[in-house]
């Protein structure tokens, strides 16, 4: 008696068939791994232990860590940069056809508070619509001056450096300033502005 008679052709084929006859998913939604050659079993049957319980435990834990991170973030800001002295400087970039950002230097009251060099990934994030908080600090109530220098590649991929300045009043509330890099299409030049968010 040979083994094929003992186990039977149908068993051999059946095992393969079970492995092969699972649903396929299309490219846009191919979250289902095409059935790899394995003995017949559905994913539901193969999960050891209480997978869902562990998954739920992991989820709950991650949620708690995320919440704590948020609380820590808020606490840090309130502790180190209270609203009555807080000043935040953001940078945004619109289009960027005439300027590729390399670095930004920020001076407040003639004192350098930030000198930031951009990676390609960061510059790309700005181009996509991200707004970076480049500086967060404290200032006393009163008049102050902010000067920003932008370095990068301008039109014709030439080295390009420009500055922008603003005098602003720091009141009792937090102060937000936005360094804006935009394209001045008629002049084929970039434009650097500083917006005081009241």
Partner 1 sequence: MGRVTHRLRPFLLGGLLFALPWACDAAKNVKPDPNGLPPHEVEDLAYGDVLFYFFEDDYFDSITRLLAARQLERVPHTREEAELLLGGLYLSLGEHVEAGRIFQDLLDKKTTELVRNRAWFYLGKVWYQRGYLEESERALREVSDKIDPRINAERCMLLAQVMMQQGRYDDAITTLSNWHGAPDWTAYAQFNLGIALVRTGRLADAIGFLDRVGQMNVRGEEMLALRDKANLALGFALLQAQRAAEARPILERVRLEGPYSSKALLGVGWADAGVGEFKRALVPWLALRKRDLLDSAVQESFLTVPYAYLQLSATGQAADYYNSAISSFDAEMKHIDDSIEEIRNGKLLDRLLTDDKKDTLTWLWQLQKLPDAPESRYLYQLLASNEFQEGLRNYRELNYMSRNLADWRESVSAYDDMLDTRQEKYKQRVPKADAVLAATDLDGLNQKRVDFESRINEIEKSNDVAALGTPEEQQTWARLKRIEDFLAAHPDDPDLADMRERHRMLKGVMYWRLSQSFRARLWNERRAVKELEANIKETQKQAVLVNQARQTVPASDGGFTARVSAVRKRIDQLQERLAETSEKQNRYLQLLAIRELEAQKQRIETYQVQARYELAAIYDKASNAPRPKAQP
Interface with partner 1 in residues 147-166 (CB under 8 A):
none
Applying CB under 8 A, does 39 fall inside the site for partner 1? yes
**Tokens at residue 57, please?**
């435990």
Applying CB under 8 A, does 191 fall inside the site for partner 1? no
Helix (H) or strand (E) holding 2: none
Query: Is 18 strand, coil or helix?
Result: helix
Query: Is 191 strand, coil or helix?
Result: strand
Applying CB under 8 A, does 33 fall inside the site for partner 1? yes
Number of chain residues interacting with partner 1 (CB under 8 A): 87
First to last CA, the chain: 92
Applying CB under 8 A, does 68 fall inside the site for partner 1? yes
Applying CB under 8 A, does 125 fall inside the site for partner 1? yes
Applying CB under 8 A, does 138 fall inside the site for partner 1? no
The residue among 90, 89, 91, 93 whose CA lies nearest residue 190 is 93
Applying CB under 8 A, does 95 fall inside the site for partner 1? yes
Applying CB under 8 A, does 182 fall inside the site for partner 1? no
Interacting residue with partner 1 among 81, 85, 88, 166 (CB under 8 A): 88
Q: Which stretch binds partner 1 (CB under 8 A): 60-68, 148-156, 159-167, 186-194?
A: 60-68
Interacting residue with partner 1 among 133, 145, 169, 196 (CB under 8 A): 133
Applying CB under 8 A, does 92 fall inside the site for partner 1? yes
Q: What is the spatial distance between Cα 70 and Cα 101, in angstroms, rounded to a whole number?
A: 30
Interacting residue with partner 1 among 9, 156, 157, 172 (CB under 8 A): 9
Residue 148: burial class (beta carbons within 10 Å; 0-12, 13-18, 19+)? buried
Residue that is written with structure tokens 């009241």 in the block: 198
């Amino acid at each position: 008696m040979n083994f094929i008679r003992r186990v039977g052709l149908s068993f051999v084929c059946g095992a393969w068939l079970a492995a092969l006859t699972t649903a396929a998913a299309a490219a846009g939604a191919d979250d289902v791994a095409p059935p790899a050659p394995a003995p017949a079993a559905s994913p539901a049957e193969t999960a050891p232990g209480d997978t869902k319980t562990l998954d739920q435990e992991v989820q709950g834990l991650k949620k708690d860590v995320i919440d704590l991170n948020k609380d820590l973030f808020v606490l840090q800001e309130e502790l180190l940069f209270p609203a009555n002295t807080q000043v935040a400087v953001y940078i945004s970039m619109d289009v960027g056809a005439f300027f590729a950002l390399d670095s930004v230097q920020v001076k407040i009251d003639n004192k350098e508070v930030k000198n930031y060099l951009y990676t390609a990934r960061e510059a790309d994030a700005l181009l996509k619509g991200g707004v970076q908080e480049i500086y967060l600090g404290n200032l006393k109530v009163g008049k102050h001056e902010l000067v920003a220098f932008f370095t990068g590649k301008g039109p014709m991929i030439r080295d390009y450096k420009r500055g922008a300045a603003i005098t602003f009043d720091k009141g009792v509330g937090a102060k937000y300033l936005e360094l804006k890099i935009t394209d001045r299409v008629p002049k084929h030049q970039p434009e650097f502005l500083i917006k005081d968010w009241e």
